[in-house]
């Protein structure tokens, strides 16, 4: 590492460096894609003046779905357009998913997904999707870990598509995962309870978007988290609950943590900011996603969960579609589910969290960088401003004011669920492994710059 009198490749000067431990005004020196120095009066071949701005570690969006086959279509962002959008929003690493099937193994899914992801402009890692797995196939987890994947995605819902893992699968898979020191990520909704609600709908109710909320109430989430927490407890597996959406689900997470279960959990901006009233709008079908959107009381509980540490991170579940792909066909059951969000994650959390005093500015690097990096085995290489970490950095202007319009964003979709929302704070510059990939309102990265980052 170079001292302050030597010339760095790039120096970020005079910014307020923000970590979970506090904020300090200092320079940041970069050499060979790594953070090489933190101090005063550093010199660089290239220098950026960050006076009056925050300097955050790059955002790690730990839940994205690029180029995902779903409901007879494919999510509208591929790994190039989706990671380009992420870079423009301060995201420097994504954790996406393999596409599992009963006909392929998890290691095969990882290798094929790496080919799909090769155009990424920022770094990426993977969760291994577990579909069609059976006891006796434990070696798949070990082989996946050897390929750099240590987080495995299970569903307690979507039985009709073959993705659901029943209690026997969860138990035996969790045992295998525990032995490897890996982590089970779980989409927690009770499939049988959902089916019972759907079966009770009238034909009129099947034609209403509000029935999405009726058929996937918080009880579905809470019941499934209880089951997953139990199996994590008795097998000794680490488990991570994705997209917690309700106060009821949050309470289950809190109880499990209190009794010592190795459980972490995330929520998403849509559950913090959007309420189920949107299902009454004329464009309600654009908001199809699962879990369903909740009430404002649930939003308040989730914000509290972030402040108190019950929730460990915020991720987007970025799974975008166009208006055409979400054309209304007469039933909420006949839509692709997912919302865009990778580009707006940091601005929304700053504007609605920090600027509105729901969060401290030091909460952001914990929830958006260090937290997801730790859960996914990427820390301290990712999610940190420490010397030796990858030089993934965001310069953020807290004074900038702007309004979200889908046409101004880089995500490959023609609508935003936050259209018209006024935002306080904006990304000024994004740096990926020492390279400026976004600045002055323009993407400056390169297709294929992103690397696969193995989980450790």
Whether residues 40 and 104 share a domain: the answer is no
Q: Is the pLDDT of residue 5 over 70?
A: no
Q: Is the pLDDT of residue 146 over 70?
A: yes
Whether residues 207 and 330 share a domain: the answer is yes
Q: Is the pLDDT of residue 3 over 60?
A: no
Whether residues 70 and 207 share a domain: the answer is yes
Residue pLDDT, tens place only, 240-264: 999 999 999 999 999 999 999 999 9
Whether residues 179 and 239 share a domain: the answer is yes
Task: State the pLDDT at residue 1.
Answer: 40
Q: Is the pLDDT of residue 35 over 50?
A: yes
- Name the DSSP class of 160: G
Rounded Cα–Cα distance for residues 246 and 267 (Å): 9
Q: Which DSSP string do the residues of 281-328 spell out, in sequence order?
A: STTGGGG--SSPPB-HHHHHHHHHHHHHTSS-EE---B----TTTT--
Q: Is the pLDDT of residue 4 over 60?
A: no
- Is residue 337 classed as helix, strand or coil in its secondary structure? coil
Alpha helices in 341-421 (DSSP H): 345-348, 363-365, 371-375
What are the φ and ψ backbone dihedral angles of 423, each rounded to 5 degrees? -120, 135
Whether residues 172 and 292 share a domain: the answer is yes
- Name the DSSP class of 280: G
Cα torsion through 96, 97, 98, 102, rounded to 10: -170
Task: State the pLDDT at residue 6.
Answer: 81
Q: Do the domain assignments include residue 196? A: yes
Both tokens assigned to 140: 């798949």
Distances (CA, A) of 123 to 62, 345, 411: 12, 17, 17
Name every residue whose Cβ is closer than 8 Å to that of residue 255 and which is 6 or more positions away in sequence: 229
Residue pLDDT, tens place only, 314-362: 999 999 999 999 999 999 999 999 999 999 999 999 999 999 999 999 9
Whether residues 222 and 92 share a domain: the answer is yes
Whether residues 252 and 351 share a domain: the answer is yes
Residue pLDDT, tens place only, 90-110: 999 999 999 999 999 999 999
Residue pLDDT, tens place only, 271-311: 999 999 999 999 999 999 999 999 999 999 999 999 999 99
Q: Do the domain assignments include residue 381? A: no
Residue pLDDT, tens place only, 390-429: 999 999 999 999 999 999 999 999 999 999 999 999 999 9
Rounded Cα–Cα distance for residues 174 and 233 (Å): 10
Average pLDDT, integer, range 366-371 = 98
Rounded Cα–Cα distance for residues 116 and 251 (Å): 38
Rounded Cα–Cα distance for residues 13 and 44 (Å): 10
- Is residue 259 classed as helix, strand or coil in its secondary structure? coil
Q: Do the domain assignments include residue 275? A: yes
Whether residues 77 and 142 share a domain: the answer is yes
377: left (phi over 0), alpha (psi -120 to 50) or beta: left
Whether residues 191 and 280 share a domain: the answer is yes
Q: Is the pLDDT of residue 54 over 70?
A: yes
Chain centroid to Cα 182, Å, comes to 19
- Is residue 350 classed as helix, strand or coil in its secondary structure? helix
- The distance in angstroms from the start CA to the end CA of the chain is 24
Average predicted confidence (pLDDT) for the chain: 97
Q: Do the domain assignments include residue 127? A: yes
Report the CATH number at residue 310: 3.20.20.140
User: For the chain, what is the domain count?
Assistant: 2
Q: Do the domain assignments include residue 344? A: yes
Element (H, E) at 187: strand 183-187
Cα torsion through 410, 411, 413, 419, rounded to 10: -80
Q: Do the domain assignments include residue 1? A: no
Whether residues 129 and 227 share a domain: the answer is yes
Chain position carrying tokens 């307020």:
16
Whether residues 64 and 46 share a domain: the answer is no
Q: Do the domain assignments include residue 414? A: no
Task: State the pLDDT at residue 2.
Answer: 44
Task: State the pLDDT at residue 107.
Answer: 98
Report the CATH number at residue 48: 2.30.40.10
Rounded Cα–Cα distance for residues 37 and 283 (Å): 50
Domain of 298? 58-375
Judge contact between 368 and 314, C-beta under 8 A: yes
Chain position carrying tokens 């709908």:
201
Whether residues 116 and 210 share a domain: the answer is yes
* Per-position b or e across 362-383, b if 16+ CB within 10 A of its CB: ebbbbbbbbbbbbbbbbbebbb
Q: Do the domain assignments include residue 455? A: no
């Amino acid at each position: 590492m170079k001292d302050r009198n030597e010339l760095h490749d790039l120096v970020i000067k005079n910014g307020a460096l923000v970590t979970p431990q506090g904020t300090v005004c200092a320079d940041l020196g970069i050499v060979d894609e790594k953070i090489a120095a933190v101090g005063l009066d550093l010199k660089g071949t290239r220098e950026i003046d960050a006076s009056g701005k925050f300097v955050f570690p790059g955002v790690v969006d730990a839940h994205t779905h690029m180029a995902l086959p779903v409901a007879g279509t494919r999510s509208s962002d591929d790994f190039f357009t989706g990671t380009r959008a992420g870079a423009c929003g301060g995201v420097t690493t994504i954790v996406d998913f393999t596409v599992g099937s009963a006909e392929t193994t998890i290691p095969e899914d990882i290798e094929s997904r790496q080919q799909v992801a090769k155009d990424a402009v920022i770094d990426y890692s993977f969760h291994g999707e577990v579909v069609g797995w059976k006891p006796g196939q434990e070696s798949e987890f070990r082989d996946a870990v050897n390929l750099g994947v240590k987080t495995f995605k299970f569903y307690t819902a979507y039985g009709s598509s073959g993705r659901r893992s029943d209690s026997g699968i969860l138990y035996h898979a969790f045992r295998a995962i525990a032995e490897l020191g890996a982590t089970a990520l779980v989409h927690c909704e009770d499939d049988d309870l959902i089916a019972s609600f759907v079966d009770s709908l009238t034909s009129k109710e099947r034609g209403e978007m509000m029935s999405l909320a009726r058929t996937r109430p918080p009880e579905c989430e809470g019941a499934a988290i209880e089951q997953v927490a139990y199996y994590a407890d008795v097998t000794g597996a680490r488990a991570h609950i994705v997209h917690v959406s309700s106060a009821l689900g949050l309470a289950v997470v809190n109880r499990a943590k209190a009794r010592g279960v190795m459980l972490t959990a995330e929520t998403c901006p849509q559950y913090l900011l959007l309420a189920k009233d949107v299902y009454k709008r004329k464009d309600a079908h654009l908001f199809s996603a699962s879990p369903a959107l909740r009430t404002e009381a649930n939003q308040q509980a989730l914000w509290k969960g972030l402040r108190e540490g019950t929730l460990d991170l915020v991720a987007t579940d970025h799974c975008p579609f166009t208006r055409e792909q979400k054309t209304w066909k007469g039933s909420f059951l006949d839509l692709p589910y997912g919302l865009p969000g990778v580009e707006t994650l940091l601005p929304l959390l700053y504007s609605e969290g920090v600027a509105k005093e729901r969060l401290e500015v030091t909460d952001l690097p914990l929830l958006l960088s260090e937290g997801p990096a730790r859960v996914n085995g990427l820390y301290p290489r990712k999610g940190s401003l420490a010397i030796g970490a990858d030089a993934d950095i965001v310069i953020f202007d807290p004074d900038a004011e702007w309004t979200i319009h889908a046409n101004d964003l880089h995500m490959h979709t023609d609508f935003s669920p936050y259209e018209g929302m006024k935002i306080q704070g904006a990304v000024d510059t994004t740096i990926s492994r020492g390279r400026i990939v976004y600045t002055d309102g323009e993407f400056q990265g390169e297709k294929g710059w992103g690397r696969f980052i193995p989980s450790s």
